[in-house]
Homo-oligomer: A and B are copies of this chain.
Amino acid sequence: MQDLQQQLAFIVEMDRLKAVYRQTTVKDDKGRFENSAEHSWHIAVMAHVFAPMIAEPVDIHRACLMLLLHDIVEIDAGDTFAFASAADIASKADKESEAADRLFGLLPDSQASDFRTLWQEYEDAESADARFAKAMDCLLPLIQNMNNEGGSWRRHQVSRSKVVARNKYLEHSAPKLWEYALEQIDIALDKGWLQEG
């Protein structure tokens, strides 16, 4: 039963991701900040919805599991805003890697290793599965900000080029969505929700 006790410890620990808040807001819940657990659910659903748009071979189920697991490191490392300072982003990788060791390490060895490897693949963003998963993680806040009159972009005075760079994963993974993202970014610039540059 040792495996079961380890799995239960991991599942209980996961509850803490519901207390990690992001910069995006939930319009239909009084504009409160969104947490990383519900964000992870939303992008996992979105990956399945946009699966028919994928332009390269992707295992949608692997991509989905990456999305379900990718943010759990924030339980220890906290959420770093996508458009944070260079110093904050530089310190993020080490903190998250330590967090991945601890959190996946709660699981039985073989599962810990499988999940940790999948998490690393997502972080490296070199496989088609990881690129598509990353693309979903970056596209949802764009959709949310467009639906929230600029949302976190506007509050943090984010520039157009940063949002374009962040959504680049879409270019090869799902070109129709890339085209859509570029159109939306132009609209946001026109409305003053994004800064020039």
Write the residues of chain A forming the contact surface with B, with a CB cutoff of 8 angstroms: 1, 3-4, 7-8, 10-12, 14-19, 26-29, 34-35, 37-38, 40-42, 44-46, 48-50, 52-53, 61, 64-65, 68-69, 107, 111, 140, 143-144, 147, 176-177, 180
Contacts and interface: CB of A to CB of B under 8 A. Distances in A.
A18 B8 contact: no
B45 A14 contact: yes
For this chain, the copies found in one complex come to 2
Contacts of A37: 37-38, 41-42
- Give the secondary structure class of A's interface: helix
A3 B176 CA distance: 11
Contacts of A46: 11, 14
Contact of A18 (B3, B34, B48, B111): B34
Contacts of A65: 48, 64
